[in-house]
Amino acid sequence: MDNADSVNVRVFSLNCWGIRYLSKHCPQRYAMIGEMLSKEEHDIVLLQEVWSEKDYLCLKKKLACTHPHSHYFKSGVIGSGLAIFTKYRIHDTFVYRYSLNGYPYMAHHGDWFGGKAVGMAVLNVGGLTANVYVTHLHAEYCREKDSYLPHRVVQAWELQQFIRHTSAGADVVILGGDLNMHPQDLGNRLLRSYTGLQDSYLETAKFDGCEDGMTLIADNPFITEKELGPFDKGIRIDYILFKSSSKADIHCDSMSTTKGSVPDHPFPYSDHEALTAELRLESCSPAETGADRPLKTQDSTAGRLAELVDIVTEARTEVKVGLHCAERMRYTAARTAVMGLALLFLELAIAAVPWLALGAEQPFPRTSFYLLAVLCFAILLTTSLLYIFYTMELKSLQGAEDQMRLAVSSLQEKLRGFPLAQPHNPPRRPPEGQEPGAFHPEE
Amino acid sequence: MDNADSVNVRVFSLNCWGIRYLSKHCPQRYAMIGEMLSKEEHDIVLLQEVWSEKDYLCLKKKLACTHPHSHYFKSGVIGSGLAIFTKYRIHDTFVYRYSLNGYPYMAHHGDWFGGKAVGMAVLNVGGLTANVYVTHLHAEYCREKDSYLPHRVVQAWELQQFIRHTSAGADVVILGGDLNMHPQDLGNRLLRSYTGLQDSYLETAKFDGCEDGMTLIADNPFITEKELGPFDKGIRIDYILFKSSSKADIHCDSMSTTKGSVPDHPFPYSDHEALTAELRLESCSPAETGADRPLKTQDSTAGRLAELVDIVTEARTEVKVGLHCAERMRYTAARTAVMGLALLFLELAIAAVPWLALGAEQPFPRTSFYLLAVLCFAILLTTSLLYIFYTMELKSLQGAEDQMRLAVSSLQEKLRGFPLAQPHNPPRRPPEGQEPGAFHPEE
């Protein structure tokens, strides 16, 4: 690219599958990852599932020369697992913890303990302000009966909100991570449509990697058939997304993924494939922004608004399903608690009779008495905790649903401002009553 | 104001003290608040401690004509207690839940259950995009020995991050709420210095209200002497803050507070005083922004950067104190858990001896055996939960400390770019390596 005003940025993203003592060959794989990163010298490295801070610090030490700037996003009990390594100075960071992230009692799934979040780092890339986001959404354990779907949809909703609201001042937006969603999944459509983020895989000029850009593939020895389900070749759930602004155009010149094996090594870097996107950032002069760049017609804007209304409505339906489920679970918890309490009172009553009738023999065998009491207390405690937890889940789901309802009505209001019959001259300034800070289909 | 391009906005903020069945005269006070709001017709009403959604819905019904647009921010177990009522259409909302917010076992303080947060609503005010924030930080129960100080400092840190990062696209920023901090408290200085928010009380041309703008006063019948401690007249902990942008200048024409009583009513609206600020928004033309508006000199910018470095360093120290405390608490939890486990094993060992030596008499009285076992289990469960909780607290504190360290080094880097000896001509574009999206002392 002979344009003097363009910067090439190589972005890398990998879910490291770094559960100490549990993930297979974890230390060896981290050594391989560190070696590769220091050799490849990507400009921005976005890692997920770096569950141990020790492993992050090890990588930081190894990459001190090639990637002097880094940040580890802390959250939850274990951590968010998110890390960024970069050549560019990090000026600011911010982290948003998703309000919903699975259930603590589903310890074998472990998502809740990870405290899933989206991390943001503000970098200066060739004079442009780049907001770089890294995230990891709740895993999908069973596609047919996905009880975590409402949680993932709310995470996608919060992710788009976070990116949209924090990136207004950015010239460049880059998001990398494991979204745990197929390309056409609801959350993915919601994220892309609302933020205007573009998918590197779909936009790239050149591609070298797995078929259909898949990042969870059957050829990876760490992947079992069960994990892929009906998608026997693999699925695409890791992404590098980007968004241009009025100050900078972004193009994806090439993209690549690893292919389930690493030359000269007995196993791959992770159970996920790694992504690399070569992005070209071109600064736009203010004049260019106004005059030379093609403007979208009102028709296409209205079309996109209408599409967005449909997607948000679909998301709202999914959240409502989650609401019903959470309400049912909370009701069950409350009912069980009442039963536990009733049992306890019954036991006490039976035991109290001989005490009251002084001298009568205690009919209740002591062992059973205490065991039953313990059981009652355990039930009461567990159900109380569950009740509190489900109440919090309900609040978050209701909150998301409220916001979605408001968003739909705001989008419909905007749609009414776009009569399809009018000539194709979009107004330079949004009409009064229309929100200029939110969704900009023109961008 | 005869400027055609100016809009007057009346902003109202009140902590409603709305704990159903616990706060004194709660239904009567809500009735008074609703009546007053529908009569006064403020443009933007920001309420805190509306703990019950039913009360919010009641107000919503009452204010349907005067304030057709409203939003209740949901969070935590009970809710965030935050609500906004406005004449302007709400185009978008977003909520950020603070990562730290007291302890669940301090149930009598109740903050943890409230899920303290900051709510944001995007409004269109006379063609300007206004980001309106409402928040409520953790209460201060004992100023001399304030164990929640690190939590409140981290909340202030996250609040400034949230406002700074989400308001880049806004023309007007307004924040109202109960910050639970005195005007010169660390968190308050951190918030104001980093975001550039101005205090209505300090900026207002006219003021009518309590001495020193106090919002928690001795004259309020709901306030006990104990609550005010050494500040026998009262304290100022509720604020309306605002910030101009390159597109709009904001002036506070007048401000008022209630004075501990309401005419024709036996008691005041709440235990806090209500604030009203009359803000005048003046749109700036682009030309004005560049040429006519006075630019701060390099010296004052460098001075403000240096001040900010000091404040963030002070906040970091406070967070470190919190870190030590949380580490100690986690250690205690772990040690108690180990002791509980040891006791359980000891008990089982003593009980097992006669079982192994078949026929020997059981020396352990059954009642004591079961009671002790229950005690051990209770200790184990409680300490495990506490251990998990303190780990999460530690992660959040460490995360905030990391971000503060990075912020300090980034600010110092900027400071180095301001040699005090140079002539007072600030560069129009920040030099390479300097972050344009973050703190703008010029704004």
Name A240's Cβ contacts closer than 8 Å, sequence gap at least 6: A11, A13, A46, A174, A175, A176, A200, A201, A255, A275, A277
> Model confidence over A84-117: pLDDT tens digits?
999 999 999 999 999 998 888 887 887 888 878 9
So what's the ipTM on this one? 0.87
Q: Compute the mean pLDDT over every residue in chain A, rounded to the nearest whole number.
A: 87
- The pLDDT assigned to B110 comes to 78
* Domain spans, chain A: 6-284, 313-357+365-417
A193: number of Cβ within 10 Å: 20
CB A103 within 8 A of CB A92: no
Most confident of A133-137, A138-142, A389-393: A133-137
Smallest CA-to-CA distance from A227 within A214, A239, A240 is with A214
- Cα A434 from Cα B173, distance rounded (Å): 18
SS3 content of chain B, % helix, strand, coil (to 5): 40, 20, 35
CA dihedral B330, B333, B335, B339 (to 10 degrees): -170
Give the pLDDT mean for A209-237. Answer: 91
> Model confidence over B181-199: pLDDT tens digits?
999 999 999 999 999 999 9
Say if residue B99's pLDDT is above 80: yes
CB A437 within 8 A of CB B170: yes
A129 interfacial to chain B (CB closer than 8 Å): yes
- The pLDDT assigned to A412 comes to 92
- Cα A195 from Cα A28, distance rounded (Å): 38
CA dihedral B388, B389, B394, B400 (to 10 degrees): 130
Q: Which residue of A has its CA nearest to B378?
A: A378
SS3 content of chain A, % helix, strand, coil (to 5): 40, 20, 35
- The pLDDT assigned to B422 comes to 43
- The pLDDT assigned to A361 comes to 65
Roughly what angle, to the nearest 10 degrees, separates helices A298-356 and A149-166? 130
> Model confidence over B249-278: pLDDT tens digits?
999 999 999 999 999 999 999 999 999 999
Kind plus residue range of the DSSP H or E element containing B379: helix B366-416
Cross-chain residue pair B395–A169, CB shorter than 8 Å: no
Find chain A residues with C-beta within 8 A of B416's C-beta.
none
Smallest CA-to-CA distance from B432 within A9, A8, A126 is with A126
Name A266's Cβ contacts closer than 8 Å, sequence gap at least 6: none
Q: How confident is the model at residue A440 (pLDDT cuts 50, 70, 90)?
A: very low
- Pick the range with the lowest mean pLDDT from A226-240, A356-370, B327-341: A356-370
Q: Which residue of B has its CA nearest to A53?
A: B395
Sheet holding A128-136, edge to edge: A90-97, A117-125, A128-136, A172-178, A238-243, A198-199
CA-to-CA separations, B88 to A260, A404, A432, in angstroms, rounded? 55, 19, 11
> Model confidence over B103-120: pLDDT tens digits?
888 878 878 888 789 999
Closest residue to B406, CB basis, from A93, A367, A410: A93
CA B391 from centre of chain: 23
Say if residue A120's pLDDT is above 80: yes
> Model confidence over B148-173: pLDDT tens digits?
999 999 999 999 999 999 999 999 99
Closest residue to A77, CB basis, from B366, B392, B433: B392
Length of chain B: 443
- The pLDDT assigned to A296 comes to 53
Closest residue to B166, CB basis, from A165, A388, A429: A165
Encoded tokens for A408: 């739909």
Find chain B residues with C-beta within 8 A of A429's C-beta.
127
Q: Which residue of B has its CA nearest to A388?
A: B77
Give the pLDDT mean for B202-206. Answer: 95
Residue with tokens 């993203």: A13
DSSP designation for A102: -
Smallest CA-to-CA distance from B247 within B286, B216, B274 is with B286
CA dihedral B283, B289, B292, B295 (to 10 degrees): 120
B285 interfacial to chain A (CB closer than 8 Å): no
Question: What is the number of CB-based contacts under 8 A between chain A and chain B?
Answer: 170
- Cα A185 from Cα A199, distance rounded (Å): 14
Residues 381-400 of B with CB under 8 A from A: 381, 388, 391-392, 395-396, 398-399
Q: How far is B393 from chain A (nearest CA, A)?
A: 8
A307: which strand partners? none
- The pLDDT assigned to A288 comes to 53
Sequence-distant contacts of B401-405: CB under 8 A, at least 24 apart: B401/B316, B401/B319, B401/B320, B401/B323, B402/A71, B402/A72, B402/A74, B402/A93, B403/A93, B403/A94, B403/B157, B403/B161, B404/B157, B404/B312, B404/B315, B404/B316, B404/B319, B405/B316
CB B6 within 8 A of CB B261: no
Residues 204-243 of A with CB under 8 A from B: none
Provide φ and ψ at A110, rounded to 5°: 75, -5
Kind plus residue range of the DSSP H or E element containing B157: helix B149-166
Encoded tokens for B107: 């149930």
Say if residue B15's pLDDT is above 70: yes
- The pLDDT assigned to B331 comes to 96
- The pLDDT assigned to B427 comes to 41
Q: Which residue of B has its CA nearest to A440?
A: B169
- Residue, of A418 and B363, whose pLDDT is higher: A418
CB A390 within 8 A of CB A330: yes
- The pLDDT assigned to A435 comes to 39
Q: Compute the mean pLDDT over every residue in chain B, rounded to the nearest whole number.
A: 87
Residues 421-440 of B with CB under 8 A from A: 429, 432-438
Domain A6-284 has CATH 3.40.50.970: no
What percent of chain B has pLDDT above 70?
Answer: 89
Say if residue B432's pLDDT is above 50: no
DSSP designation for A266: S
What percent of chain A has pLDDT above 70?
Answer: 89
Identified catalytic residue from A67, A109, A272, A440: A272
Q: Which residue of A has its CA nearest to B386?
A: A77
Give the pLDDT mean for B297-322. Answer: 89
Residues 250-279 of B with CB under 8 A from A: none
Q: How far is B221 from chain A (nearest CA, A)?
A: 34
CB A342 within 8 A of CB A349: no
Smallest CA-to-CA distance from A307 within A411, A435, A434 is with A411
Encoded tokens for B89: 């259409």
Q: Which residue of A has its CA nearest to B159?
A: A94
B95 interfacial to chain A (CB closer than 8 Å): yes
- Cα B258 from Cα B203, distance rounded (Å): 19
B93 interfacial to chain A (CB closer than 8 Å): yes
> Model confidence over B127-144: pLDDT tens digits?
999 999 999 999 888 888
The DSSP string of A283-347 is E--HHIIIIISPPPPHHHHHHHHHHHHHHHHHHHHHHHHHHHHHHHHHHHHHHHHHHHHHHHHHH
Output the CA angle B287-B292-B298, nearest 5 degrees.
115
Name B231's Cβ contacts closer than 8 Å, sequence gap at least 6: none
The DSSP string of B334-349 is HHHHHHHHHHHHHHHH
Q: How far is A3 from chain B (nearest CA, A)?
A: 19
Cross-chain residue pair A406–B129, CB shorter than 8 Å: no
Find chain B residues with C-beta within 8 A of A174's C-beta.
none
What percent of chain A has pLDDT above 90?
Answer: 67
- Cα A94 from Cα B392, distance rounded (Å): 17
Mapping DSSP to helix (H, G, I), strand (E, B) and coil, where does residue B310 land? helix
Encoded tokens for A160: 């788009």
Rg of the Cα atoms in chain B: 26
Give the pLDDT mean for A218-227. Answer: 90
Active site residues of B: 272
Phi-psi region of A123 (alpha: psi -120 to 50; beta: other; left: phi over 0): beta
Give the pLDDT mean for A16-30. Answer: 93
- Cα B319 from Cα B322, distance rounded (Å): 5
Encoded tokens for A73: 């996003």
A84: which strand partners? A46, A71
